[in-house]
Structure 1
Amino acid sequence: MSGLDSNPFVDPVDTNPFQDPSITQATSRASENAGEFNPFSATEMEPHTGKTIPISAASSQPAILETSVEQSARANAAAGQANLIKQQEELEKKAAELERKEQELQKRSAGRALNSGAKENNWPPLPSFSPVKPCFYQDFEEDIPEEYRGICKRMYYLWMFHSATLFLNVLACLAYFTADSKYGVDFGLSIVWFILFTPVAFVCWYRPVYKAFRSDSSFSFFFFFFVFFFQVAVYIIQTVGIPNWGNSGWISSISMIGTNLAVAVVMMVVAGFFTVNSVLAVILLKMVHAKYRNTGASFTKAQQEFSHGVLTNPTVQTAATGAATSAAQGAFGRSQGN
């Protein structure tokens, strides 16, 4: 019955795992070492009391990582500073360029004032033995600033092409007249247009634009625009070629194809010249207007220049003085008669 009294769920040998010899030996050594160490004892403090490390010996700059916000702010500030430096350099360049232009204009004005009596007219270039002397002075290199010199020369070349076209128009109208005697009016008017419009074009629209670019004159600019607009209209009329108007244009030349083909070809060539004149005139008018907008000219300045020119003109002053004297003498005579 003793076998029935035993508990089957109990281990037959009652063992304690912490009583293992290796474990008990290790724990005993650790407790001995812990009991022997005293951090506040004199023997343990002696090696550490020799010298203290001052705070200044440590790094004065703490290791702090910069955030992305600080980095982007610094980058933006650097970019803004570089942009400001670039803008300042551009402004300084523009100021230096303006100062240079102003000095050149002053030098040219001073040179013209000093040499106004010494300079002789050189246009048109006539031989020295000619009884007719030049009427104008013209020097692109000396009078016209470099930025306006090109457009001013193109206007001069346009005037030369204009004169050549009017001369060829006389020849075409002569052929027109030889083909049919009823077109003698066109031949006569073509001679008048050549003799009249060649010098008038030079005086009325080329010289004003030359003076405008030479002295930055607002009045000369406005006078040029007013006259040259009508010149463009005349070019268009000459290109069309209305019969009996003295122009060898497209209508007149096409009408001669059935009558005389050779004369028609000559007239068509001149009509092409008139067409080129019209196109070049429109292009150069736009180019001069673009240059005019950069010069700072205005209608108010033109009025001031006109008023100043009229008041200081010796001819106008003499005429005004004579008129005032005559009026005063007349009033004095009438007062004595009464």
Structure 2
Amino acid sequence: MSGYDSNPYVDPVDVNPFQDASVTQVTSGATESMGEFNPFSATEMGNNSDTTIPISAAASSQPAILQTSSEQSARAAATAGQANLIKQQEELEKKAAELERKEQELRNQSAASASNLGTKENNWPPLPKFFPVKPCFYQDFEQDIPEEYRRICKRMYYLWMFHSATLFLNVLACLAYFTVDPARGVDFGLSILWFILFTPVSFICWYRPVYKAFRSDSSFSFFFFFFVFFFQVAVYVIQTVGIPSWGNSGWIVSISVIGSNLAVAVVMMVVAGFFTVNSVLAIFLLKMVHSKYRRTGASFTKAQQEFSHGVLTNRTVQTAATSAATSAAQGAFGRNQAN
């Protein structure tokens, strides 16, 4: 009868689904963990501070964006081109600075030369200080003569020295000739005259003009040199020939002495060879000076202008002209008074 007393509408076993063991375990664990967690506790804050990631570290940890090969090559080419331009600009600036420095040096040298032009002391001929005669000319190839004309100007100076030495040897040869033949005293006397006369005259009349011409690019000095040196070449030829009784130990006189005295003839032939070398060198250097003259732009018109300017500005010429004009005026006035 017990079976009939039970309620048929009630489950025979009262089952609570929330009382399941798995659900109860999960809910109880979550409750315990939530109850223990305190975000404001010192322990939890210390743990969180240890694991904080800075912004920079986070940004650096981002994956890099890969560039394509074309972009890399274009950027490398642009960088190389910019570096090349910078290098070229630096080189140009260095060259410009060097040119400016050289121009400044040239301007300083020109200014120094202009300021010292009137105060330069004569240094030629190089005589001792105790000598009573002082030097008469100033000569400095390095300072006065441009580099392109310096060599030819020095050669002209060496020609003049060789010319002077040849005239001195000619005096000795004519002396030897005079000792063999007393009738040749005229040759010996003329040889002394040629040495005393032609040595300083050649220096003043053709060497100094060519020195001045190369120093100041003077057309007048060039023309004066050509005019005088042409006659000098003619004199060299005459001395080389050796006309008797002209005071020169040339080839004709030297050969005529061979029969009478061989030693004197040899000495005179050596001097004749020196005269020949003088003639050859003079013709050769004359052509060289003429070629240099054509490059300087000198002309006969410039020579006339330089001569006119030099004559008009020369104090001596002005004084002489004034004196002549005054004398002429006084003479004319005197004649008028007499009439």
Corresponding residue for residue 245 of structure 1 = 246
Distance 1:324 1:153 in 2: 45
- Change in CA separation of 1:137 and 1:316 when aligned onto 2, cut-off 3 Å: same
- Alpha-carbon distance, 1:116 to partner: 2.7
2:120 is paired with a residue whose SS is coil
- Alpha-carbon distance, 1:108 to partner: 6.3
Corresponding residue for residue 128 of structure 1 = 129
1:305-324 matched pairs, under 5 angstroms: 305-324=306-325
Larger radius of gyration: 2
Corresponding residue for residue 303 of structure 1 = 304
Corresponding residue for residue 138 of structure 1 = 139
- Alpha-carbon distance, 1:258 to partner: 0.7
Distance 1:310 1:153 in 2: 29
Q: Deviations over 1:260-314 (max 9, x none)?
A: 0000000010000000000000000000000000000000000111111111110
Unpaired segments ≥5 residues, structure 2: 1-100
Distance 1:142 1:237 in 2: 37
CA contact (8 A) 1:140 1:149 kept: yes
Q: Deviations over 1:317-338 (max 9, x none)?
A: 0001111122222233333444
* One-letter amino acid matched to 2:187: D
Instruction: State, as a whole percentage, how many aligned pairs show the same letter.
Output: 87
- Change in CA separation of 1:297 and 1:283 when aligned onto 2, cut-off 3 Å: same
Distance 2:160 2:252 in 1: 25
Residue 235 of structure 2 corresponds to residue 234 of structure 1: yes
* One-letter amino acid matched to 2:156: M
2:126 is paired with a residue whose SS is coil
Distance 1:105 1:298 in 2: 27
1:152-167 matched pairs, under 5 angstroms: 152-167=153-168
Distance 1:216 1:274 in 2: 31
Q: Deviations over 1:67-107 (max 9, x none)?
A: xxxxxxxxxxxxxxxxxxxxxxxxxxxxxxxxx99999976
**TM-score, normalising length from structure 2?**
0.67
Distance 1:324 1:103 in 2: 49
CA contact (8 A) 1:185 1:246 kept: yes
Distance 1:101 1:291 in 2: 26
Distance 2:269 2:227 in 1: 30
Corresponding residue for residue 257 of structure 1 = 258
- Change in CA separation of 1:317 and 1:107 when aligned onto 2, cut-off 3 Å: farther
Distance 1:335 1:291 in 2: 58
Corresponding residue for residue 293 of structure 2 = 292
Corresponding residue for residue 282 of structure 1 = 283
CA contact (8 A) 1:232 1:281 kept: yes
1:75-154 matched pairs, under 5 angstroms: 110-154=111-155
CA contact (8 A) 1:108 1:142 kept: no
Distance 1:264 1:227 in 2: 32
**TM-score, normalising length from structure 1?**
0.68
* One-letter amino acid matched to 2:163: H
Corresponding residue for residue 327 of structure 2 = 326
- Alpha-carbon distance, 1:192 to partner: 0.3
Distance 1:105 1:226 in 2: 34
- Change in CA separation of 1:106 and 1:203 when aligned onto 2, cut-off 3 Å: farther
Distance 1:136 1:238 in 2: 29
Distance 1:101 1:190 in 2: 52
- Change in CA separation of 1:266 and 1:104 when aligned onto 2, cut-off 3 Å: farther
- Change in CA separation of 1:273 and 1:325 when aligned onto 2, cut-off 3 Å: same
Distance 1:300 1:101 in 2: 34
- Alpha-carbon distance, 1:109 to partner: 5.8
CA contact (8 A) 1:108 1:143 kept: no
Paired residues, what number?
240
Corresponding residue for residue 169 of structure 1 = 170
Distance 1:285 1:103 in 2: 36
Unpaired segments ≥5 residues, structure 1: 1-99
